[in-house]
């Protein structure tokens, strides 16, 4: 598979077979075919929910693939040797300035907060993606579950029949691993915002025939269960019921059901459409939604490309935040905007910025996050963090604690225990509401 | 069409003798430069929001401060009395050459970046263009907006007057070259789309391209547009330098000038020399000066520079070239032995 990054690293290449198998397992998989995965997931929810008492919280992660420049977004340094040509503009938070490329977002910053002191010590795309979304240092031979998988497992409401971990992508990462949590918590991908595969009855199968077929399955199942019922057969049967529930809720994935006015407000750009879809999914209580926006890997003409990319990002993102706030969803929805890393303060000879994990920024807001805060500080030209150094581990803890998950707890998988987040790290407590 | 108009009986310069004669080190990387019309000064912009006036004889440098962002567009009126600059802050600033310690006038000309300006042949008007997709025409003496031209659907990268001063040519990010009548603003012509100079990179999901510089030949019939072509990776700058020549009256691309060895990078400055050749400065692979005869696609000479060249200006006597370099230097090159 072709690499998506300007530096042409290969870390993000994903085997199609792995991707498809994950999708199949997590997405009800053709609803009537591969069914055991989700059934198992749902049967486990009750115990998990009671273990963590997380309530009905949600996480929205906007991933700016390639590494957005902190200097052209959340931590501008205008008129310095590293600052580039853009100016800083005031936001709705007194004293907080962000880059002029984000005028609409600036009007929503009273809902949001900034962490300007990430030092993740990494400039590699693949590693950065893994570390930012798992909260762990990448180690050979060790896989940790993606934030989406953790959220799906811990935040899915009881008997929740939609996928708990949805990735909306036009590009960027395409498979979020669930690791030891099991493939049922892997991402269900909505390619270009299209509904998950196999959630629509094939046209060749009439509704009548489908009902008859299901009735036959139920009769045979009941007959089988009467003699040899086991937990496995129950799970298998349950997965079919969940699949049917999902088929019945297919409209959840359909933004054409939104008003024309809303579709206009979000715009017709890919990211705009995806943000509207994210709102719709969050309104239906999907516990984890990630929207990818690609690409920011601007080794060449960084400034022109940030005009293009952030120009596409700004209005839909601001509209989404505004809507979540107005509809009362933001109080239960944690919002994060992250990348693999930031970009070098030094501007190269091609007007580009390269990979930089030493001093960069992440945005958090909504559920459990103190609004309007700025955590940490970089020096005058952004070359190093001078206050409150944090990394992916701290951010991961903070996100989970913000949605009322005890991130210091453990998953019990079989007889083994796995820490939910890196035990060596802790949340950014002063950012928590 | 003959792309080599009447050459002087005795050539003014010998391109293959081009050599550096002077350099000035600044504190930040340079992004643009421009000779004044009397050959006394070279103005340059840098990554520091300030324009600098470098006096060639004395090597004295005077800062011009009125912009709030980088400045890539600058020009001097033919009489040498007035300097005009336009920056990424969207401002058009007028300076009196006799006293550049403060701006004579500051106008918010564009929303977003002002990318280029062109001064009319009579020195009375200046045209600007920018990311707001407008081309605008201003009265220099009064700072008054005379007219604005809308029709581009992406950032407008460069603008030039035709030789008679009655029309404007402008090129945008997507390579669309348009011709505007100053007297009849509703009369516009889509001249060509320079496909070689634009690309939507489907991997990175962004447009790259546009004319980074434009110039006309001696009789004004041919317009050269400099940029990047054959882009395979926009975000890593994997593409080759190119200059597209357009017979704008016939809406026809007559030649695409390229490097023999497929030099990686972007042509950031282009000029026509009255000896009958085009020259361009490039960045992206260490910086080169290229010399082409317009009827042949490949260069007849090229000179390796010390650093990437981000802007270029031909001296009024056509004997020297000033280059704005990414390694903080302004360098002057003489095209004679």
Q: Which residues of B touch A353 (CB under 8 A)?
A: none
Q: Which class would CATH give A35-200+236-431?
A: alpha beta
B129 with B246, same domain: the answer is no
Please give the average per-residue pLDDT across A17-34, as a whole number. 34
Give, in order, the Cα–Cα distances in Å from B39 to each of A112, A208, B140: 54, 87, 21
The answer to whether A368 contacts chain B (CB < 8 Å) is no
Give B279-316 pLDDT, tens digit per residue.
999 999 999 999 999 889 999 999 999 999 999 999 99
Strand partners, A45: none
Q: What is the predicted pLDDT for the residue at A176?
A: 85
Cβ contacts of residue B92 below 8 Å, gap of 6+?
B84, B85, B86, B106, B107, B109, B110, B114, B117, B126, B128, B138, B143
Are A411 and A347 in contact by the 8 Å Cβ rule? The answer is no
Which one of B90, B204, B239, B283 would you mutate to disrupt binding with A, by most A Cβ within 10 Å of its Cβ? Answer: B204
B91 with B102, same domain: the answer is yes
Q: What is the predicted pLDDT for the residue at B7?
A: 61
Q: Mean pLDDT, chain A, as a whole number? A: 86
B180 with B260, same domain: the answer is no
Give A164-179 pLDDT, tens digit per residue.
999 999 877 777 889 9
Cβ contacts of residue A415 below 8 Å, gap of 6+?
none
Please give the average per-residue pLDDT across A151-175, as a whole number. 89
Q: For residues A407 and A368, what is the distance between their CA atoms, to the nearest angstrom?
A: 14
Please give the average per-residue pLDDT across B144-153, as a whole number. 97
More confident residue, A173 or A11: A173
Nearest-Cα distance to chain B for A402, in Å, is 33
Give A49-103 pLDDT, tens digit per residue.
333 444 599 999 999 999 999 999 999 999 999 999 999 999 999 999 999 999 9
Nearest-Cα distance to chain A for B237, in Å, is 5
- Grouping H, G, I as helix, E, B as strand and the rest as coil, residue A399 is helix
Confidence band of A38 (pLDDT split at 50, 70, 90): very low
Q: What is the predicted pLDDT for the residue at A12?
A: 34
Contact B236 A79 (CB under 8 A): no
Closest CA to A375 of A428, A304, A313: A428
Question: What is the ipTM for the molecules in this complex?
Answer: 0.95
B153 with B104, same domain: the answer is yes
Residue A318's φ and ψ, nearest 5 degrees, are -65, -40
Q: For residues B258 and B273, what is the distance between their CA atoms, to the nearest angstrom?
A: 18
Percent share of chain A, pLDDT over 70: 86
The answer to whether A76 contacts chain B (CB < 8 Å) is no
Which one of A312, A350, A352, A355 would you mutate to disrupt binding with B, by most B Cβ within 10 Å of its Cβ? Answer: A350
Closest CA to B174 of B211, B225, B130: B211
Confidence band of A240 (pLDDT split at 50, 70, 90): confident
Which one of A302, A304, A344, A352 would you mutate to disrupt binding with B, by most B Cβ within 10 Å of its Cβ? Answer: A304
Q: What is the predicted pLDDT for the residue at A223?
A: 86
Residue B280 belongs to some domain of the structure: yes
**CATH number of the domain that residue B258 is part of:** 2.130.10.10
Evaluate if residue B26 carries a pLDDT over 50.
Answer: yes
Closest CB to A307: pick one of B70, B131, B266.
Answer: B131
Q: Judging by DSSP bridges, how do beta strands B301-304 and B144-150 pair with one another?
A: unpaired
Confidence band of A37 (pLDDT split at 50, 70, 90): very low
Are A39 and A238 in contact by the 8 Å Cβ rule? The answer is yes
Q: What is the predicted pLDDT for the residue at B39?
A: 95
Q: What is the predicted pLDDT for the residue at A7?
A: 60
The answer to whether B251 contacts chain A (CB < 8 Å) is no
Strand partners, B201: B206
Q: What is the predicted pLDDT for the residue at A204?
A: 87
Q: What is the full DSSP assignment across A254-300? A: -GGGS-HHHHHHH-SSHHHHHHHHHHHHHHTT-SEEEEEEE----SS
Q: Which residue of B has its CA nearest to A64?
A: B204
More confident residue, A347 or A249: A347
Edge-to-edge, what's the strand order for the sheet holding B288-292? B266-273, B277-283, B288-292, B301-304
Contact B113 A85 (CB under 8 A): yes
B204 with B253, same domain: the answer is yes
The answer to whether A297 contacts chain B (CB < 8 Å) is yes
Residue B253 belongs to some domain of the structure: yes
Give, in order, the Cα–Cα distances in Å from B284 to each of A282, A344, A345, B180: 45, 18, 19, 33
The answer to whether A85 contacts chain B (CB < 8 Å) is yes
Confidence band of A110 (pLDDT split at 50, 70, 90): very high
Q: How many structural domains are present in chain B?
A: 2
Residue B124 belongs to some domain of the structure: yes
Q: In this predicted structure, which of A37-46, A270-279, A372-381 has the lowest mean pLDDT?
A: A37-46
B146 with B215, same domain: the answer is no
Look up residue A390 and give its DSSP letter: B
Q: What is the predicted pLDDT for the residue at A202?
A: 82
Q: Which residues of B touch A79 (CB under 8 A)?
A: 48-49, 68
Q: Which residue of B has its CA nearest to A295?
A: B204
The answer to whether A309 contacts chain B (CB < 8 Å) is yes
- Grouping H, G, I as helix, E, B as strand and the rest as coil, residue A74 is coil
Give A186-229 pLDDT, tens digit per residue.
999 998 888 877 777 788 888 888 888 888 988 888 888 888 87
Q: Which residues of A touch B131 (CB under 8 A)?
A: 307
Which one of A349, A351, A354, A355 would you mutate to disrupt binding with B, by most B Cβ within 10 Å of its Cβ? Answer: A349
Percent share of chain B, pLDDT over 90: 93
Q: What is the predicted pLDDT for the residue at A8?
A: 52
Closest CB to B236: pick one of A2, A6, A87.
Answer: A6
In sequence order, what E strands does A55-156 have?
Answer: 58-65, 88-90, 97-99, 112-118
Question: Residues in chain A, how many?
Answer: 433
Give A390-428 pLDDT, tens digit per residue.
999 999 999 999 999 999 999 999 899 999 999 999 999
Q: What is the predicted pLDDT for the residue at A306?
A: 98
The answer to whether B128 contacts chain A (CB < 8 Å) is no
The domain limits of chain A are 35-200+236-431
Nearest-Cα distance to chain B for A144, in Å, is 28
Encode chain B in three state secondary structure.
CCCCCCCCCCCCCCHHHCEEEEEEECCCCEEEEEECCCCCEEEEEECCCCEEEEECCCCCEEEECCCCCCEEEEEECCCCCEEEEEECCCEEEEEECCECCCCCEEEECCCCCEEEEEECCCCCEEEEEECCCEEEEEECCCCEEEEEEECCCCCEEEEEECCCCCEEEEEECCCEEEEEECCCCCCEEEEEECHHHEEEECCCCEEEECCCEEEECCCCCEEEEEEEEEEEEHHHCEEEEEEEEEECCCCEEEEEEECCCCCECEEEEEEEECCCEEEEEEECCCCEEEEECCCCCECCEEEECCCCEEEEEECCCCCEEEEEECCCEEEEEECCC
Contact B204 A308 (CB under 8 A): no
Instruction: Tell me which residue range forms the domain holding B299.
Output: 196-304
More confident residue, B9 or B193: B193
Q: For residues B44 and B37, what is the distance between their CA atoms, to the nearest angstrom?
A: 14
The answer to whether A349 contacts chain B (CB < 8 Å) is yes
Residue B125 belongs to some domain of the structure: yes
Q: For residues A170 and B21, what is the distance between their CA atoms, to the nearest angstrom?
A: 52
Evaluate if residue B8 carries a pLDDT over 90.
Answer: no
Q: Compute the C-alpha angle B325/B326/B327, nearest 5°.
A: 90
The answer to whether B70 contacts chain A (CB < 8 Å) is yes
Q: Which residues of B touch A10 (CB under 8 A)?
A: none
Residue B50 belongs to some domain of the structure: no
Confidence band of B59 (pLDDT split at 50, 70, 90): very high
Please give the average per-residue pLDDT across B2-22, as a whole number. 80
The answer to whether A192 contacts chain B (CB < 8 Å) is no
Nearest-Cα distance to chain A for B326, in Å, is 6
Are B48 and A79 in contact by the 8 Å Cβ rule? The answer is yes
């Amino acid at each position: 598979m072709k690499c998506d990054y300007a530096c042409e690293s290969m870390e993000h290449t994903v085997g199609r077979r792995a991707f498809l198998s994950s999708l199949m397992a997590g997405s009800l998989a053709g609803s009537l075919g591969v069914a055991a995965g989700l059934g198992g997931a749902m049967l486990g929810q009750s115990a998990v929910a009671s273990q963590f008492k997380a309530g009905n919280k949600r996480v929205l992660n906007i991933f700016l693939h390639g590494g957005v420049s902190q200097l052209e977004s959340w931590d501008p340094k205008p008129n310095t040797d590293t600052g580039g040509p853009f100016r800083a503009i005031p936001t709705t938070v007194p004293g907080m300035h962000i880059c002029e490329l984000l005028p609409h977002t600036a009007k929503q910053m009273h809902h949001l907060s900034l962490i300007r002191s990430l030092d993740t010590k990494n400039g590699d795309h693949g590693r950065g993606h893994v570390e930012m979304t798992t909260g762990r240092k990448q180690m050979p031979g060790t896989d940790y579950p993606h934030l989406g998988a953790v959220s799906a497992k811990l935040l899915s409401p009881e008997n929740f029949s939609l996928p708990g971990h949805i990735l909306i992508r036009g590009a960027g990462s395409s498979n979020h691993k669930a690791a030891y949590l099991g493939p049922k918590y892997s991402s269900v991908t909505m390619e270009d915002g299209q509904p998950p595969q196999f959630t629509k009855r094939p046209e060749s199968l009439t509704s009548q025939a489908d009902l008859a077929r299901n009735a036959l399955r139920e009769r045979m199942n009941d007959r089988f269960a009467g003699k040899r019922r086991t937990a496995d057969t129950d799970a298998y049967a349950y997965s079919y019921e969940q699949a049917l529930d999902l088929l019945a809720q297919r409209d959840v994935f359909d933004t054409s059901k939104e008003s024309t006015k809303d579709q206009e407000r979000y715009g017709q750009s890919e990211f705009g459409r995806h943000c509207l879809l994210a709102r719709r999914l969050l309104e239906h209580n999907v516990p984890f939604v990630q929207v990818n926006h690609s690409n920011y890997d601007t080794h060449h003409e960084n400034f022109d490309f940030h005009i293009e990319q952030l120009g596409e990002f700004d209005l839909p993102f601001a509209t989404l935040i505004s809507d979540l706030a107005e509809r009362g969803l933001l109080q239960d929805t944690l919002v994060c905007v992250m990348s693999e890393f930031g970009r070098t303060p030094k501007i190269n000879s091609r007007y580009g910025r390269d990979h930089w994990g030493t001093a960069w920024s992440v945005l958090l807001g909504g559920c459990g996050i103190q609004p309007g805060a700025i955590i940490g500080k970089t020096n005058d030209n952004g070359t190093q963090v001078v206050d409150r150094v944090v990394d992916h581990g701290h951010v991961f803890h903070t996100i989970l604690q913000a949605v009322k998950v005890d991130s210091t707890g453990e998953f019990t998988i079989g007889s083994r225990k796995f820490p939910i987040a890196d035990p060596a790290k802790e949340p950014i407590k002063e950012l928590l509401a | 069409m003959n792309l080599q108009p009447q050459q002087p009986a005795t050539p003014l310069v010998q391109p293959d003798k081009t050599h550096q004669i002077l350099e000035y080190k600044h504190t930040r990387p340079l992004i643009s430069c421009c000779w004044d019309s009397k050959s006394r000064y070279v103005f340059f912009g840098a990554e520091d929001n300030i324009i600098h006036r470098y006096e060639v004889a004395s090597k004295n440098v005077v800062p011009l401060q009125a912009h709030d962002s980088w400045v890539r567009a600058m020009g001097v009126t033919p009489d040498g009395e007035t300097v005009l600059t336009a920056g990424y802050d969207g401002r058009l600033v007028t300076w009196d050459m006799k006293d550049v310690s403060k701006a004579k006038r500051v106008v918010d000309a564009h929303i977003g970046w002002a990318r280029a300006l062109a001064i009319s042949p009579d020195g009375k008007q200046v045209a600007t263009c920018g990311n707001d997709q407008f081309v605008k025409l201003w009265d220099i003496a009064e700072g008054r907006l005379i007219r604005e031209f809308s029709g581009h659907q992406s950032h407008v990268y460069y603008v030039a007057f035709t030789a008679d001063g009655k029309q404007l040519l402008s090129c945008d990010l997507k390579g669309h070259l348009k011709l505007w009548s100053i007297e009849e603003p509703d009369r516009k012509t889509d001249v060509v789309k320079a496909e070689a100079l634009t690309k939507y990179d489907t991997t990175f999901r962004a447009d790259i391209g546009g004319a980074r510089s434009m110039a006309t030949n001696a009789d004004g019939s041919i317009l050269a547009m400099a940029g990047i072509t054959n882009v395979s990776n926009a975000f890593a700058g994997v593409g080759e330098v190119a200059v597209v020549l357009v017979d704008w009256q016939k809406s026809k691309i007559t030649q695409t000038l390229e490097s023999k060895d497929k030099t990686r990078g972007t042509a950031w400055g282009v000029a026509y020399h009255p000896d009958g050749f085009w020259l361009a400065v490039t960045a992206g692979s260490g910086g080169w000066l290229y010399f082409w005869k317009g009827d042949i696609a490949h260069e007849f000479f090229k000179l390796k520079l010390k650093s990437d060249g981000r802007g270029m200006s031909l001296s009024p006597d056509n004997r020297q070239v000033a280059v704005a370099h990414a390694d903080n230097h302004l360098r002057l090159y003489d095209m004679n032995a």
